[in-house]
Structure 1
């Protein structure tokens, strides 16, 4: 049985990738070293503002993390021409803009992690870390950076 392409999986999920957003300061959207692609921190589409535990709940945070994953995929597609050049999702790191008493950071980041599994299957299984932040750029609810192994 032939494995479905990432483009077909996205279509079945009802996801159309946007154009990759531009960096917000003096850095690159990504850097490739050998067979690793490092994608700079991305936030959710629409630039929502606020903190988890105050302005948003965990379910809303999950959706923001999923949207951020879509932004990450857009960078990869623009850079490589195809998501099928991803050999492995290596690491996802999330920074959740949260109140001091918010404790569900891991559930928020699942929005991005589950998207990677949906798009890449077993190759989407990755290491990850998630941190609570007292502030992030533009008061976004989440920022995620990521590392991918790619075809050279």
Structure 2
């Protein structure tokens, strides 16, 4: 009986381990949360730190911004948020690359124009010198 109980316990532990977040996934998740807060608070220094020099930031309307344009749009209030949530998030890591998908839900204040947005987003992060940097973002319209 003890052998069976031990085997069942080992099986349960090994299955639960396979669903646990890896250290990379946990670090990426923390980086994504830092990005969300930096966007919500229009934190220029944090946005610049989190974004790769080669950032390609795609919007759901097909507009694409580089790092400087992305940061300026947020900091200037041209793309402003009063609430911002990343829902139903998934993270896949492969070495020094991470792919993050989530639903981007926000109340916006874009240069005084109030609105709401709910779109799908895919982010690509690269680990550069021990720090995860946002390399690419593509937003897309969700099915109605």
Considering Cα pairs closer than 8 Å and 6+ residues apart, tell me whether 1 or 2 has the greater RCO: 1
TM score, norm. by length of structure 1: 0.30
Structure 1 or 2, whichever has the larger Rg, is: 2
More strand by percentage: 2
